[in-house]
Amino acid sequence: MSKVFEALKKAEKDQGLLEPVRLVSGQEAREDGGDVPSEVAGLGSVLAKGREEPPARVSPWLLVCSQAHGHVVEQIKRLRTHILHSAPGSDVPRVIVVTSASAGEGKSLVSANLAASIAQGLRESAMLVDADLRHGKLHRFFHVRPSPGLSDYLAGDSDLGEVVRETPIRKLSLVTCGSSRPNPIELISSERMRSMIEQVPSQKDKTFLVLDTTPALLTSEPSILARMADGVVFVVRHDLTPRNCIKEALEYFPKEKLLALVFNDVPPQSLKLYGHAYGSYYYWGTYREEA
């Protein structure tokens, strides 16, 4: 039995410590204070070891956990269905990298919702990993501290069981980005990273690994992780990235590994031109702002 599977089982046993999932408004998030942006509420979680964390809450940006934005949720589920049925039997992509050409295109939003949607399946479970060791944001979706996380595990400072956290979403586990480190490329390209990916449970367990990583035109990590993964989901934000930049970024990945392109933040009036009646969703923050 793999270490990843053991960590998942241990976290699942501790799930009883979590409070029921509930929606949190932006006002409540502001009242909570802390370093969570006002646009983002969070989810409570516990470490796999059972340490207490804040009460369980669901961020409004985890759209698949809400009854609102049904048109957007349906598109996320279409993406999940496409991935789960993109190949027969054991060839289904189990390790999925989510990236974009530049910053601020919505890859973290897509990663979190894709992983949560997979976990909502009847038999599937998912582990969501924040592989953006530079500006990781997934801990904000779940209202937990960023460390211990992936960087701490890759540096050998934490065990796998210490960084795999159960979330209030049933069958969804989380690995945050971890402590800030000066060598993110070396950590991501390490044998320890490859070993973690290879330890995804067998096809019988139907566990999927969703890796939220850095922008492809700005960093080397996406192309490194793509070689270890089964497939790549590429996020493009409407009216942000020039076509030539998208084309250049896509050339970093083998064509056979490109699972899907997600067209994000599309205005409703633009979609009507294509005969669709779907809305849009928005994502906050860029690398440039944080810098």
Residue 257's pLDDT is what? 94
Residue 40, pLDDT score: 29
| pLDDT given for residue 280 in this prediction | 41
Residue 174 pLDDT exceeds 70:
yes
pLDDT at 198 over 80: yes
pLDDT tens per residue, range 64-102: 887 777 788 899 999 999 999 887 767 889 999 999 999
Angle, vertex CA 31, rays to CA 25 and CA 34, nearest 5: 105
What average pLDDT does this structure show over 178-189? 96
pLDDT at 241: 85
In this model, does residue 22 exceed pLDDT 90?
no
Identify whether the C-beta of residue 87 lies closer than 8 Å to the C-beta of residue 95: no
Of 29, 85, 91, 37, nearest in space to 55 by CA: 29
Residue 138 and residue 194: Cα distance in Å, rounded?
21
**b/e burial code for range 120-134 (CB count within 10 A of at least 16 → b):** bbeebbbbbbbbbbb
pLDDT for the residue 153: 96
Residue 42 pLDDT level (bands cut at 50, 70, 90) = very low
Is it the case that residue 274 has pLDDT exceeding 60? no
- 175 contacts: CB under 8 Å, gap ≥ 6: 127, 128, 129, 130, 149, 150, 153, 163, 164, 165
Mean pLDDT, residues 33-44 taken together: 31
More confident site: 170 or 26: 170
Query: Does the pLDDT of residue 50 top 50, yes or no?
Result: no
**Prediction pTM value:** 0.75
Q: Which residue has the higher pLDDT, 204 or 103?
A: 103
Q: Which two three-digit tokens encode residue 4? A: 């990843």
Q: Is 89 left (phi over 0), alpha (psi -120 to 50) or beta?
A: left
Q: Compute the average pLDDT of residues 21-44.
A: 33
**Do 105 and 241 contact (CB within 8 A), yes or no?**
yes
State yes or no: pLDDT of 48 exceeds 60: no
How far is the CA of 113 from the CAs of 31, 86, 259, in angstroms?
25, 19, 16
Per-residue pLDDT, 38: 31
Cβ(39)–Cβ(196) under 8 Å? no
Q: What is each CA distance from 26 to 6, 37, 40, 58, in whole angstroms? A: 36, 9, 7, 11
